[in-house]
Amino acid sequence: MKKRIKNEKGLTLIELLAVVVILAIIAAIAIPAIGNIISNSRAKAQVADAISVLDAANLYFTDNPTDADNTATQAELTNGGYLENTGKITNVSVKKGTPNTITFTVSSPVTGALGNTFTDATLTQLSGATVSKGVITINGAQTAPAGG
């Protein structure tokens, strides 16, 4: 009987519990990091969408140099074929100037979460934007978190 017990191999309950605790600690560290990566990706996509809208507005202003109000709206850009889709961007208004500036709101993909609002952002400012923990910073001014 003693010989039979000594030859048994496997994990004790304590060893199994230690493995579960270690896995829980690793998960607790990894989940927030993954959440930050997702938030940063969403915020960077919003900046890329804004740059696309500004590029489309430049084409619009080239084709319509005598536009009365010197402003391109989302409807004018999409209906005119300058822009297929604005992504999560809503309330677009691009002002003609040197340089052109854009004011728009990014709708949040999550109900109840805040979207980002950009006011008079230029292409240079958007290109130099930094993103950390889902927050977009343009020339030191932060916008709301990218939601979701």
pLDDT tens digits along 63-83:
988 777 888 888 888 899 998
The backbone torsions φ and ψ at residue 88, rounded to the nearest 5 degrees and listed phi first, read -90, 5
Q: Which band of pLDDT confidence, cut at 50, 70 and 90, is reported for residue 89?
A: confident
CA angle 145–146–148, rounded 5-degree value: 110
* Gap between the Cα atoms of 5 and 69, Å rounded: 89
Considering just the CA atoms, what is the radius of gyration of the chain in Å? 26
CB 40, CB 134: distance < 8 Å: yes
CB 94, CB 71: distance < 8 Å: yes
What global pTM score does this model have? 0.68
pLDDT of 42 reads 83
**Lowest mean pLDDT: which of 14-18, 92-96, 108-112?**
108-112
Long-range contacts of range 38-41, CB-CB < 8 Å, 24 or more positions apart? 38/148, 39/133, 39/134, 39/145, 39/146, 39/148, 40/131, 40/132, 40/133, 40/134, 40/146
* Gap between the Cα atoms of 81 and 56, Å rounded: 9
**Lowest mean pLDDT: which of 8-17, 34-43, 104-113?**
104-113
* DSSP 8-state code for residue 85: -
* Gap between the Cα atoms of 78 and 55, Å rounded: 13
> Rounded to an integer, what is the distance from CA 116 to the centroid of its chain?
9
